[in-house]
């Protein structure tokens, strides 16, 4: 039986050099712990004290000290994170074995996704595990990701021979075309690393530019 959270972790393992990662739905901390082992710094959001307290002790039992846990709705991520992000994970829904009424919802999920796609680096990855028990949220997420421009590659992994199964979406932000081309020409050379470095610098400048334009126009 396919476990989508395992698939998500396999995809995380394949990402190269994760500097900043964000767990948008900390819950019992399994994804947060996994990210902490693969990223330089992790931010984790949840709205429930129970989830954050459990995760805090899970991290301390594993001697993890590169995670900042934040009690806040993930739609406000830009109030807490001021640097470009390499990887984002959402595991939507409710905290298992807890109050099912407290769960993610389409409005804050889409609001945070809109910010995440701007804050993610070139070559950055967003992973979303979606549960169709909230059909409205599942449909809104699908509609939003399907409308992203061609600078993003959006994939869906679903189990076709079973009904009402969760599915996984990945959003990968593409490279700038000239750098992508150059990188492909000289894969694994020092020049390739140089291209990635320059590309990230330009992406960071673009993010700052976006912030400034948003602040001036709002």
Ligand X SMILES: C[S@@+](CC[C@H](N)C(=O)[O-])C[C@H]1O[C@@H](n2cnc3c(N)ncnc32)[C@H](O)[C@@H]1O
Nearest by Cα to 89 from 71, 107, 100, 104: 104
Nearest residue (CB) to ligand X, 105 versus 158: 105
The residue from 4, 12, 18, 27 that contacts ligand X (CB under 6 A) is: 27
Whether residue 171 contacts residue 148, with contact meaning beta carbons closer than 8 Å, is answered with: yes
Apex 206 CA angle, 8 and 120, nearest 5:
10
Position of tokens 């690393």?
193
Place of tokens 């948008």: 24
Q: Which is nearer to ligand X, 69 or 95 (CB)?
A: 95
Applying CB under 6 A, which of residues 48, 132, 152, 165 lies at the interface with ligand X? Answer: 48
Give the total of residues touching ligand X (CB under 6 A). 21
Angle at 103 between CA 100 and CA 107, to 5 degrees: 150
Distance, CA of 94 to CA of 71 (rounded, Å): 16
Half-sphere exposure of 138 (CA within 13 A, CB side): 15
CB 191 within 8 A of CB 182: yes
Q: Does 133 bind ligand X (CB under 6 A)?
A: no
Which listed range, 103-111, 134-142, 192-200, 206-214, lies at the site for ligand X (CB under 6 A)?
103-111
Contact between 78 and ligand X by CB under 6 A: the answer reads: no
Min CB(157)–ligand X separation in Å: 17
Among 4, 9, 22, 31, interactor with ligand X by CB under 6 A: 31
The residue from 73, 132, 176, 204 that contacts ligand X (CB under 6 A) is: 73
108 binds ligand X (CB under 6 A): yes
**What is the closest distance, in whole angstroms, from the C-beta atom of residue 109 to ligand X in the complex?**
7
Torsion angle of the four alpha carbons 214, 171, 35, 116, in this order, in degrees rounded to the nearest 10: 10
Work out whether 52 is an interface residue with ligand X (CB under 6 A). no
* Contact (Cβ atoms closer than 8 angstroms) between residue 95 and residue 25: no
Indicate whether 36 belongs to the interface with ligand X (CB under 6 A): no
Of the ranges 101-109, 167-175, 176-184, 190-198, which one interacts with ligand X (CB under 6 A)? Answer: 101-109
The reply on whether position 93 binds ligand X by CB under 6 A is: yes
Residue 20's SS3 state is strand
Candidates 91, 106, 121, 183: give the one binding ligand X (CB under 6 A).
91
By the criterion CB under 6 A, which residues form the site for ligand X? 25, 27-31, 45-48, 51, 73-74, 91, 93-95, 102-104, 108
């Amino acid at each position: 039986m396919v476990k989508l959270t395992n698939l998500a972790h396999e995809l995380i393992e394949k990402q190269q050099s994760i500097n900043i990662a964000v767990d948008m739905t900390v819950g019992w901390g399994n994804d947060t712990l996994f990210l902490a082992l693969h990223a330089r710094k992790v931010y984790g959001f949840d709205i429930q004290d129970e989830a954050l307290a459990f995760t805090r002790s899970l991290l301390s039992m594993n001697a993890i000290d590169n995670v900042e846990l934040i009690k806040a709705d993930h739609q406000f991520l830009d109030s807490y994170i001021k640097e470009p992000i390499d990887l984002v994970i959402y595991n939507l829904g409710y905290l298992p074995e807890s109050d099912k009424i407290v769960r993610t919802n389409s409005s804050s999920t889409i609001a945070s996704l809109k910010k995440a796609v701007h804050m993610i680096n070139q070559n950055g990855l967003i992973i979303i595990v979606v549960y169709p028990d909230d059909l409205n949220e599942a449909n809104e997420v699908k509609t939003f990701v399907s409308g992203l421009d061609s600078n993003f590659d959006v994939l869906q992994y679903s189990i076709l021979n079973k009904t009402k199964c969760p599915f996984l979406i990945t959003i990968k932000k593409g490279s700038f075309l000239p750098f992508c081309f150059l990188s492909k020409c000289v894969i694994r050379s020092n020049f390739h690393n140089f291209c990635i470095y320059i590309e990230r610098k330009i992406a960071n400048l673009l993010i700052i530019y976006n912030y400034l334009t948003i602040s001036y126009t709002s």
